[in-house]
């Protein structure tokens, strides 16, 4: 017997409720503490800045989206290739793993000026920056999934005289897809970071440039408007990746959607 009824909200409902709650908290803090608008603008001022600068912000948002999507694509390709290479070559794994760890130990802000110096102020340096931020979680998760394939499945494939390529295609890759999906979710969440850092260091366009330029001119409402678009972009990208993975990896159990509930 159920003691009470639980209000169930869909993803869109929960997201909208959280968004409205954060806006109300933000608005309440600015009114309660009388924060100057140049330090923390109210949500209505940010909304006005979004509307008044919609063309300017949309143009720069499109540039940042292109950088993020290209960085995500190249990062996934690089990460998956490295994971497969380390899987099939223990020697390559022993030499490559320290390089991967060192690449993540170096702060991204230290690499960004060098990338701008080497590849210029254009699109290339931002895409490479995003790729460097993305590829490690993909490599680590995909490689972990490949090497943790059930030995019984591999032995069964060998008894059926499957070639190494057939073992990879039908056993290892399928078994490693959930781990790869986890890395892809992380990559989608951090993808905007690399692009924006590259724009901060050296750029004449993009949301990172808008934030830096507006902050220098004390236009905090415009800075928050660009930050809002960037956050919206990151959430949308993560949701898109999550929906695609749920459809592709339909056999993977999902803790957020239990098969049944006890009465």
pLDDT (tens digit, 9 = 90+) per residue, 31-77?
888 878 778 888 889 999 999 989 999 999 999 999 999 999 999 99
CATH code of residue 57: 1.10.3720.10
CB atoms < 10 A from the CB of 51, how many? 10
Predicted confidence band at 5 (pLDDT cuts at 50, 70, 90)?
very low
Query: In total, how many domains does the chain have?
Result: 1
Per-position b or e across 9-43, b if 16+ CB within 10 A of its CB: eeeeeeeeeeeeeeeeebeeebeeeeeeeeebbbb
pLDDT of 6 over the 70 cut: no
Average pLDDT on 87-100 reads: 85
| pLDDT per residue as tens digits for the range 161-173 | 777 777 777 788 8
Decide if 78 is inside a domain.
Answer: yes
Answer whether residue 10 is part of any domain: no
Per-residue pLDDT at 261 exceeds 60: no
pLDDT over 50 (residue 30): yes
Tell whether 193 is covered by a domain: yes
User: Does residue 97 form part of some domain?
Assistant: yes
8 band by pLDDT with thresholds 50, 70 and 90? low
Work out the burial of residue 252: count CB atoms within 10 Å of its CB; fewer than 13 is exposed, 13-18 middle, 19 or more buried: exposed
CA nearest to 84, candidates 153, 176, 212, 191: 176
Question: Does residue 71 sit within a domain?
Answer: yes
Helix or strand or coil: residue 15?
helix
Closest CA to 134 of 71, 223, 176, 227: 71
In a domain, 242, yes or no: yes
């Amino acid at each position: 017997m159920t003691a009470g009824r639980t209000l169930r909200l869909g993803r869109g409902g929960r997201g909208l409720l959280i968004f409205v709650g954060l806006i109300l908290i933000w608005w309440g803090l600015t009114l309660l503490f009388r924060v100057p608008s140049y330090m923390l603008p109210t949500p209505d001022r940010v909304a006005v800045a979004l509307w008044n600068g919609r063309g300017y912000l949309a143009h720069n948002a499109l540039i940042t989206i292109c950088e993020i999507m290209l960085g995500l694509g190249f990062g996934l390709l690089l990460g998956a290739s490295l994971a497969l290479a380390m899987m099939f070559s223990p020697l390559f794994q022993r030499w490559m793993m320290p390089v991967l760890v060192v690449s993540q130990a170096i702060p991204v802000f230290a690499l960004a000026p060098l990338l701008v110096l080497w590849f210029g102020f254009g699109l290339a340096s931002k895409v490479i920056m995003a790729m460097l931020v993305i590829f490690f979680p993909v490599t680590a998760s995909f490689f972990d999934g490949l090497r943790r394939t059930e030995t019984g499945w591999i032995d069964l494939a060998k008894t059926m005289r499957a070639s190494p390529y057939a073992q990879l295609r039908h056993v290892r890759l399928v078994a490693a897809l959930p781990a790869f999906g986890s890395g892809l979710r992380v990559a989608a969440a951090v993808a905007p970071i690399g692009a924006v850092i590259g724009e901060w260091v050296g750029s004449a366009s993009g949301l990172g440039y808008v934030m830096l330029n507006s902050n220098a001119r004390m236009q905090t409402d415009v800075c928050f408007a660009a930050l809002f678009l960037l956050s919206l972009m990151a959430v949308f990208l993560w949701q898109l990746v999550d929906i695609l993975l749920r459809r592709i990896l339909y056999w993977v159990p999902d803790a957020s959607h239990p098969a049944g509930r006890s009465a």
